Structure 1
Amino acid sequence: MAQKINPTSFRLGTTQVWDSTLQNYGKPLNVYSTILHKQLQIQKLLPRYFLLNDFLLNYQEWKIRQNKVLLSIYYSPLTYSQKVQSPKFLKFLPKLLKKSILIEPTIRFYLKLQWSLTPNLIIWYSWHLLDKKTAPKKVILNLCKLLKSYLNFTRVSYFKLGLIETKLIGFKIKLSGKIDSSNQMAKSLEQTLGRLSLTSLSGIVEYSNKEIYTKSGTCGVQVWLFYSIK
């Protein structure tokens, strides 16, 4: 049964918590529904906007309190460079977001020279490789090579009872759909490594999926990252 549902929702309230809590109960928030709807649109827009400017969006944090929006954006360059200047396209984001959410947001940008491993970052990196007409098998191999370098990597995560230290012990990548232009049949490519358990509640599983539209057709990318609690 655990393999048929979202791994994150399966663990909510036991080992994992919500990524964002925007509702302020008992406090007036007149434009909450509008901001929430626009936030979902912006969350899909920002990664694509950064990719078009040769940057990867690591993750974004939203805080909405009393009709005020605070957005923290963590991003990294696609290729490593010792001298990375502040990109000019960031100056247009506040004006763009103000038109979208009808409130002038406070935006903080954090440039990270090293990637912060998240499922969303892996998915958008695969979208970048497919957009560059990289063969699907090479995409899987590149992603596996990247994730292998992060095995046994430790980090601090949010837990039900507070902050904890976790270690990456395994991953799973699946690319399925129309990935071959010479064949009309859908195919599926999958790679796994390490200890993988979708039914155990003693660890943390990060999961993300996305549909990617290519010239060959529609592809579905799924990423599972398995962490053990130290």
Structure 2
Amino acid sequence: MSQKVNPIGFRVGVSQNWNTQMQCYQKTSLTYTLTVLKKLQIFSFFQRLLFKHNIILSKAEWLLKDGSIYCDLFYTKYEPLTRQPLLEISKKILKVLKYWITSPFVFRFYKIHWFSNPTTVSHWICYQLEKKQNIKWILLLLKKKKINYQKWNTEIKYDISGENAFLLKGIKIICSGRLRGRRNRMSSKTWKQVGVMPLQRLHGFVEYKKDNAYTRFGKIGVHVYYYYAKHLN
């Protein structure tokens, strides 16, 4: 059962928090449905705009409080990035958002390492598959990255009890599709796991991302799991 449900939705309210917090103690101009719709539209606009500059948007944390909207954007890039594209992107965002929403909007950019988040890892795997790289070579390279980047193992996460330090205990990657190319028309599945991955535990902090790679042999599904445990020290 643990692999047939979304691992994040399975733990929301028990051990993990929501990514969006809405505190409305006064009358608002928009209903809850329109507010969620606006948020999804803005996030989709952020993704398309950053992708044009070869920047991967990892996630966005939202806070609606006292009539203002606060958004923290976490991005990464596989090549060195200068500050000039971010300045241009910020100007475009402010120019477009003033026609969408009337509330004050505050956004901040945070750069993260591409291996520290399952979203960026899944994007990287899809990027390599679309470049016709072998899936075994990709998984072997990711295992070496996990060993080399030990400093990214400890991170600050927000769970149901507040802000805590978590230790990365395990990574699991599953790829399914026509991975063997033209030789076999049947789809196959391959996976790689480093560390532990107890998906049946409710009190474990799990990050999960599902993505698709579109190759000449068809669509390949990529699932990435990150399992964290509380750092006692």
- TM normalised by structure 2 equals 0.80
Cα pair 2:127 2:213 within 8 Å, conserved: no
Residue 12 of structure 2 corresponds to which residue in structure 1? 12
Superposition deviation, residue 105 in structure 1: 5.8
In structure 1, C-alpha distance between the alignment counterparts of 2:145 and 2:116, rounded to whole Å: 10
Q: Which residue pairs with 1:215 in the alignment?
A: 216
Deviation at 1:55, TM superposition (A): 2.1
Cα distance in 2 for residues equivalent to 1:221 and 1:138 = 15
Residue 28 of structure 1 aligns to a residue in which SS? coil
Deviation at 1:79, TM superposition (A): 1.8
Answer whether contact 2:115 2:121 (CA < 8 A) is retained: no
Partner residue, 2:83: 85
In 1: Cα distance, 2:204 partner to 2:98 partner: 39
Q: Matched residues in 2 for 1:137 and 1:221: separation?
A: 14
Aligned to 1:124: 123
* Contact 1:54/1:77 (8 A) holds in 2: yes
**More deviation, 140-149/10-19:** 140-149
Give the conservation status (yes or no) of the 8 Å contact 1:61–1:71: yes
- Structure 2: gaps spanning 5 or more residues: none
Percent identity, aligned pairs only, is 27
Residue 62 (structure 1) aligned with residue 62 (structure 2): yes
**Partners of 1:225 and 1:141 in 2: how far apart?**
17
Secondary structure class of the residue paired with 2:21: coil
Q: What's the counterpart of residue 34 of structure 2?
A: 34
TM-score, with structure 1 as normaliser: 0.81
The answer to whether the 8 A contact 1:151-1:170 is kept is no
Three-state SS of the structure 2 residue aligned to 1:61 is strand
Specify whether residues 40 and 219 from structure 1 end up closer, same or farther in structure 2 by C-alpha distance, changes over 3 A only. farther
Paired letter, 2:8: T
**Distance in 1, Cα, partners of 2:167 & 2:94:** 36
Q: Who is 2:166 aligned against?
A: 166
Q: Give the 4+ runs in structure 1 shifted more than 6 A.
A: none
Q: Which structure 1 residue ranges, 5 or more long, are not aligned?
A: none
Out of 215-224 and 53-62, give the one that drifted further.
Answer: 53-62
**Counterparts of 1:125 and 1:149 in 2: how far apart (Å)?**
17
Q: Per-residue CA shift, 1:142-197, capped at 9, x if unaligned?
A: 33333344457111111222111110011100111234541432222211010121
1:7–1:62: structure 2 CA closer, same or farther, 3 Å change rule? same
Asked if the contact 1:209–1:222 (Cα under 8 Å) also holds between the matched residues in 2, the reply is: yes
The answer to whether the 8 Å contact 1:176/1:188 transfers is yes
C-alpha distance in 1 between matches for 2:212 and 2:104:
29
What is the DSSP-based 3-state SS (H/G/I as helix, E as strand, rest coil) of the residue aligned with 1:38? helix
Which SS does the other structure have where 1:58 is aligned? strand
Of 192-201 and 137-146, more deviation after overlay is shown by 137-146
> Would you say the 8 A contact 1:28–1:66 is kept in 2?
no
Describe the SS at the equivalent of 1:167. Answer: strand
CA contact (8 A) 1:172 1:191 kept: yes
